[in-house]
Structure 1
Amino acid sequence: MIFDERPKDNRRDLFDREKELEKIENNIIAKKPLLLLVGVRRIGKTSVLQTALNEINETSLIIDCRKLKENYGRRDLYSLFSQSLTSRLDKLKDILRKINGVSIFGNYVELKWSGKDYISIADLLDHLNERRIIIAIDEAQKLRGPLSKEVKDAIAHAYDYDKNITFILTGSEVGLLYDFLGVNDVESPLYGRYYNEIELERFDKEKSIEMLKKGFEELSFSIKDDIINSIVNEFDGIPGWLVFAGLQYFNKRDFNEIKETAISIALNEIEKLTGKSPASRRYKTVMKCIAKGNESWSKVKECLELEEKSTISSSILSNILGNLEKMSLIKDYKFLDPIYKEASIRIKP
């Protein structure tokens, strides 16, 4: 069903994205080592990823990095791999039971992450290479941190030596994903490694209308064109928001309430993305300044200084703007998601 807010896992429920699915399949068939699947939040990366993996006749693992806290440790990292391996135990038991540092208890895979007989991620990948396997790392930018080099070393090693492994990395904070990979960092173990990239774009107005009409048809619900146009105009072709708005309208019939709920969700997400430190408050103020229509460096600086009643270092402002772009919140002083813009206007000092 199109208006299912959970990530899709089959082509029947996934609207459009035929070209992107074909590109992923072709990369997998060609045994390409590294593929990036990128796009703004709610653009449908997880749905496209899960659908593609379900359609191929290969063993796959999904490492969901959204579960990682900011300063994650080795225990947290290995827990992600353990959970993923457990979900594919029926496919991998014969390989896993032979590996030192890996234990199978009932339906659960345990990984030794320290001490005697510990298994490194690179060693684990070498063993998994016995079989053709796709390893998908969802929201891979979350792997930045003290253990990022260990992860990148393992991926780089597999890139060179484990020919049966294809990595698919997704990221909604695209600049931070590039930072994690170190695409411009000569010190990164992945520097210079070739990767294919697929970017999911938002739907144009025609596609958005088609998606909404099909979703309402599946629910046998008659809806006026002006409501469809209002949803399209407010949510700007981002599939996740279109699904949210369509399902909410089916249940509540109140478009203004739906929009307010979406803005509240975005405000909560902004809070999580920027944090609560004194420095993070300045990020929120910059977002608010841009949302108010200050679409140049000088105008944002003036707005920020008026808000804080203080002079602001040019380098600090440049750093904030750069990070907001890396987080895929803004580009060229414009918001990539109109709901985030509306939410930013409402940020309280």
Structure 2
Amino acid sequence: MRPVLPACLAVLILLGGEASARPHSLGIAALPGESTIAYDMNGAGQVAAVLEDVDGNTRGVLFEKGKITDLGARGGKHSDARGINERGQIIGSVRNKDGTWNAFLFHRDSGMRVIGTLGGPSSYGMALNQDGVAVGFADIPGGDWHAFIDDGAGQLQDLGTLGGNISYASAVNKHRHVAGTAANEHGLRHAFLYTPENGMVDLGTLGGRQSSALAVNDAGVVVGASETTDRRWRAFVHDGKRMVDLGALIGNYNSFATDINNAGHVVGTVVVGSERMSFVWRDNKMTLHRGGQGLHLTNSINDRELVIGATYDRSMSAATMASNAVPVVTRGGSELLTLIGAVLAMAGLGVLYRLRSRGRGIGGGN
């Protein structure tokens, strides 16, 4: 039997009645077979991106006005670029000749500044704020890794855990509030928000065992994904008081919120069977983009309302998309669920009709 939801979404496209809004390719020049992925873009249009060749080697780059600036590789074969601020600083990681990794900050004028570790061999840079304060995770002498924050003073601050062995930081805002994921005393990973005033605070789950925080805006609103009681993963928004199930506005499918901007607009991914869709939640409306019509990867959303990531057609291609693009249908949450329910009912009636036409209606024979 064919999955019902993709068929329902096809009907939703017809009901939407609006022209498809295609993503815009950034035009990063790539070698044959090479993939390009955009991770972040600032207000000046500077892009932090990663290029991956056919052998899986990656290199972080700054893409600006059609030109690529390689961030450097320190003799290894891998580097990446995870974020860029309004100053043009890029956060990323680079692999050394001996196989260890180092987090770094890069600026076009000053080059690469390598960030240290927490006593172990490696560190990984994940995000930075507008002041250049960086966060990520690093090995500790015992072999586990912990979330860190680096203010440029020369020594990383270990943010600790929620009682378990590991933690990692994913995002930081202008107040130096850090969002990420940490193990608790039971070894389960939970989303956290760290503030200088309160330390690391467990944000809980949507009823399941685990959760993970991926972004935080300057208002302290955190987004990510959490398990539910039925072991699904659902996108969430945590407003500082409670975790809200954003994925419930989409349906009982795996969804993951990947970023939030300062206007409170959220982007992420929905996985339905083999189909990967993207979503934008803004102005109390949910917009779904079918696979092949929106971005395949939704890595971030900036304050210019651009969603940054990549499309997919045999390989990844760095691209952006307007956050108000409406290729499928836009409704408030309850309206969207009602509409999906109506389409499901229509699909059920169609199945019943086909069964009756074959002499196998309710109460019928073989």
Whether TM-score is above 0.5 comes out as no
TM-score (norm 2): 0.25
Higher share in helix: 1
Of the two structures, which has the highest relative contact order with CA contacts closer than 8 Å and spacing of 6 or more? 1
Higher share in strand: 2
